[in-house]
Chain A
């Protein structure tokens, strides 16, 4: 599992240091503070480190996941104020093994030192739902030079992985039942098309509510072994397309996955999700929040870690509710002097 990250002059970050927990790591912060960049960075490097043939290099995977102009990874290095790019350096710890990346400046090469062993296939669930677009997407992606970030093609590949043989163990079965009750059915794949199957028959996935499709995808990933002990889940904005009342289920699913040994990285803007996570979490599972923010007089995005919701600082989501509460009170009581 990932244990620590140091990033210098990488995209929005000037000098970033983070220590991760084995359970759930949550990135919060305003738009443009680099939450998705962190998810993509770790995902790309883990993906390229699997013990498989024909994998792209870390540099190639970074280019396919971030899609910088003309595939130039040096464009991911922080820009200098007078033009051009700095030299970026990334150090990422997978337990005791360290991988170092250096790129940027004038060169186009990515220098890599170190490697990780026994790395699983990472799962990245993007903000956009992809299950409904799966038919035909892979052939288009492999044939044409498109600007689709590779996370979309990767998640579709994982959705098409055949289901594991045999019955799932008790905990996974419990998890699947929770998801099944929320999405009201089981996802099945016929040819390239996905359907939601229930007692009444099969419903095309395109006719299922968009938010539900992502939960349906999760159940597929659990049933085909993509999400099991030792794997990593990156999920960008799990709240997208879901009513806040669904966050209790999302939090429960993620906490159970964490308990099963999946290391989880989340980027979120959702108060409901954060509160649910905090209210439902058991002390045995580690949860760490990372508040990403810019501060006057400091270059690049800063980070402060917190091990409980109340300690998140700054907390823009809470601040927004305070602003709204103040506005409502002003309506009743007038403005404060």
Chain B
């Protein structure tokens, strides 16, 4: 099943169900944030957030600004706490109240289309995302945990060859 956001398309091959879960669809955008995609696999549930400041549709004149703006946002703790982690937590709350949260391991994956992010920056972003999301470790009182990952397109394709992500330039 193929889903796209901007000009990035992901082919979730073999997924039980994959859906776009944007603000318009869940109808609670006045109080809850939402991740972009929900992917229900046989063995786990993925919550996928896609950030693409290099989207082809952005006019060239505005692209540098878009990239600079996103890079600036990424440098703040607030972005990880109030945007990325908030989307994750609100989505879990929504699914729970909607009785749609399956008893499967949860993965929150942020996919970023920013070619200038090198491994040092990705590593830093991963650490900060983990911190903002709570990063439950063994010994926490919760019975189920979750894992978070911060990936670019290349790393996504390396990790998940069964659901290739690509930029669809139109």
Contacts and interface: CB of A to CB of B under 8 A. Distances in A.
Contacts of A322: 119
A111 interface: no
Contact of B126 (A271, A275, A328): A328
B73 interface: no
B118 interface: yes
B58 interface: no
Interface string B124-143: 00110000000000000000
Interface stretch (B6-14, B24-32, B84-92, B145-153): B145-153
Contacts of B119: 318, 321-322, 324-325
Interface string A302-317: 0000000000000000
Contacts of B118: 318, 321
Contacts of A318: 118-120
Contact of B159 (A271, A324, A336): A336
B127 A333 contact: no
Contacts of B148: 332
A332 B149 contact: yes
A324 B148 CA distance: 16
Nearest to B109: A333
**Highest count of chain A CB atoms <10 Å: which of B120, B126, B149:** B120
A319 to B, nearest CB: 8
Interface in A264-309: 271, 275
A336 B127 contact: no
B122 interface: yes
Interface residues of A, number: 12
B120 A321 contact: yes
A329 interface: yes
Instruction: Give the size category of B's interface with A.
Output: 10 to 19
B159 A328 contact: no
Contact of B147 (A275, A321, A324, A333): A333
Given A271-B120, A318-B118, A321-B120, A333 B159 contact: yes
A137 B48 CA distance: 63
A5 B25 CA distance: 65
A324 B127 CA distance: 11
A245 to B, nearest CB: 14
B7 to A, nearest CB: 23
B122 A325 contact: yes
A329 B127 CA distance: 10
A193 B117 CA distance: 47
A39 B107 CA distance: 50
B158 interface: yes
B155 interface: yes
B104 to A, nearest CB: 15
A130 to B, nearest CB: 32
Contacts of B127: 328
Interface of A: 271, 275, 318, 321-322, 324-325, 328-329, 332-333, 336
Given A318-B119, A318-B120, 17 more contacts: A318-B118, A321-B119, A321-B120, A321-B123, A322-B119, A325-B122, A325-B123, A325-B126, A328-B123, A328-B126, A329-B126, A329-B149, A329-B155, A332-B147, A332-B148, A333-B147, A336-B159
16 contacts: A275-B120, A318-B118, A318-B119, A321-B123, A322-B119, A325-B120, A328-B123, A328-B127, A329-B149, A332-B126, A332-B148, A332-B149, A333-B107, A333-B147, A336-B158, A336-B159
